[in-house]
Amino acid sequence: MSRYRKSEEMLERALRSIPLGSQTFSKSHTQYPRGVSPFFLERGKGCRVWDVDGNEYVDFVNGLASVTLGYCDPDVDTAVARQLQSGVIFTLPHPLEVEVAEKIVEMVPCAEQVRFGKNGSDATAGAIRVARAYTGRDRVAVCGYHGWQDWYIGSTARNRGVPAAVRNLTHTFTYNNAASLHTVLTSHPGEFAAVILEPMNVAAPAPGFLEEVRELAHNHGALLVFDETITGFRFANGGAQELFGVTPDLATFGKGLANGYPVSAVAGPARIMHVMEEIFFSFTFGGETLSLAAALATLEKLQREPVVAVLAERGARLVASLQARIDALALGDVLSVSGHPSWSFLTIRDAPGCTLWELKTLLLQELFARGVLTLGTHNMSYAHRDDDLMTLDAAYADALAVVKDAVEARAAAKFLRCKPLESLFKVR
Ligand SMILES: Cc1ncc(COP(=O)(O)O)c(C=O)c1O
């Protein structure tokens, strides 16, 4: 009987009432090969999760990088449980809004003032609206992934439903290629409100790149926005801006801000954030207290304990052992590891007779079977311990051996027990 029988049944059922069967693209069956993957998780503790069939995994996705401390972190959950006794949402703001804003101001270099959203997309959309209002301009230069809303997603291959008039205002540039930003900015002089980028994702910033981006943005009268939805509270307590020493005009946060509770933030200096009072950035649940209690507990724990240092140290060990396995199997033409140790990527390339999608599917099939959840990234959590890294290393030892066999046979498809994933939508 299939290890994933209940997951499969639940997916069939979900697809009848939920388009895509999931609320989130990267949790959907488009990302997990049918027949060899779990589709529903029921429970998590620390860095471990259990699917609806009762299979246990060491999780390296961790709620899409939102769970930085671990599932059901006791400090965070105690704060949430305490807040739950007195109410979730009120008629007027709650003092927690002030306390969390002040905490972010204390931690993040660019932050003098802060507004909250729920998803990262709220924060990026808010930052872009602020930048447009502040500069009186419409165009935006983007680099990386910035969420589901029209202003950004219109610039990607998944732009159906976004009016052409909106799409035409967003221009993409290439990471570590300041010349590409220069070209974009000079294509419409004086029209750019913002340059927004993930300060780092797959590749580290080349020396001087982020500084050059800031200078180019400012020379063209645009604001520099760092999308720190993932890097914030993961690369350093003050985000990538602290780690790399480049302070943007605005920054956005989400994901790990509250260890998986839904809250995001836009932060910046008062002279720019003041524009928030003139635009409309307002929603019923912006001041929802459970997530703010979780945020405060998370940020205090980040300050109290060496969380980001531990993420980086364990992540670096993971990267080193994965790289050693790739080298030992002479798979360097097909696989490479990159990214920050707290958020590293295993990149797969085509090989003769094997598409990268077949190889990726094969890798996932083998890793899931060995109780490891990853989609090719390692989103480190403070709850990962040495034995969890050993579990991952042992799973990679086996899975990479299968990949090696497939590459040598020039026939990955022969090793698959499912249909390969398809290339649908790539943003990094
Ligand atoms: C860098 C970055 N920006 C924005 C977003 C959008 O955040 P959300 O999915 O919470 O709306 C994400 C989500 O993956 C992200 O990684």
* pLDDT range class, residue 199, cuts 50, 70, 90: very high
Read off the pLDDT of each residue in 153-171 and give the average, rounded to a whole number: 97
Angle at CA of residue 240, ends 235 and 243, nearest 5°? 80
Q: How confident is the model at residue 1 (pLDDT cuts 50, 70, 90)?
A: low
Tokens of 263: 């809250």
Kindly tell me if the per-residue pLDDT of 111 is higher than 80. yes
Percentage of the chain surpassing pLDDT 70? 100
Distance (angstroms) between ligand 1 centre and the Cα of 368 equals 25
Please calculate the CA angle 57-58-64 and round it to the nearest 5 degrees. 100
Q: Which residues line ligand 1 (CB under 6 A)?
A: 64, 119-121, 124, 144-148, 198, 227, 229-230, 254
The arithmetic mean of pLDDT across residues 33-54, rounded, is 98
Task: Using the predicted structure, report yes or no on whether residue 219 has a pLDDT greater than 60.
Answer: yes
pLDDT beyond 80 at 428: no
User: Does the pLDDT at position 109 exceed 70?
Assistant: yes
Which of ligand 1's atoms lies nearest the C-alpha of 255?
10
Question: Is residue 156 pLDDT above 80, yes or no?
Answer: yes
**In the predicted model, what is the mean pLDDT of the chain?**
97
Question: Which residue has its alpha carbon closest to ligand 1 atom 3?
Answer: 146
What mean pLDDT is predicted for residues 376-380?
97
Q: Probe ligand 1: pick from 122, 146, 196, 233, max atoms within 8 Å of CB?
A: 146
Q: Residue 420: is its pLDDT beyond 60?
A: yes
Rounded to 5°, the CA angle 379-382-386 comes to: 90
The residue among 354, 349, 350, 332 whose CA lies nearest residue 406 is 354
- Among 122, 124, 158, say which to mutate for ligand 1: greatest number of ligand atoms within 8 Å of CB: 124
Cα(189) to centroid(ligand 1), Å: 29
Average pLDDT, integer, range 315-342: 98
- What the block records as the tokens of 392 is 């991952």
DSSP string, 315-358: HHHHHHHHHHHHHHTT-TTTEEEEEETTEEEEEE--BTTB-HHH
Close Cβ partners of 38 (under 8 Å, ≥ 6 residues apart): 4, 7, 32, 51, 52, 53, 55, 57, 368, 373
pLDDT higher than threshold 60 for residue 110: yes
- Tell me, in angstroms, the distance from the centre of ligand 1 to residue 125's CA: 11
Whose alpha carbon is nearest atom 14 of ligand 1? 147
SS3 232: strand
Look up the pTM and report it.
0.97
pLDDT in tens, 177-190: 999 999 999 999 99
* For helices 95-107 and 289-304, angle between their N-to-C axes, nearest 10 degrees: 30
- Taking only the tens place, the pLDDT of each residue in 251-284 is 999 999 999 999 999 999 999 999 999 999 999 9
**Cβ-contact 181, 209 below 8 angstroms:** no
Please provide the distance, in angstroms rounded to a whole number, between the alpha carbons at the two ends of the chain: 37
- Asked whether the predicted pLDDT for residue 424 surpasses 90, the reply is no
- In the block, residue with structure tokens 């802060």: 114
pLDDT tens, residue by residue, 140-155: 999 999 999 999 999 9
CA 327 to centroid of ligand 1, rounded, Å: 33
Q: Which atom of ligand 1 is nearest to the CA of 124?
A: 4
Distance 7 CA to ligand 1 centre (A): 26
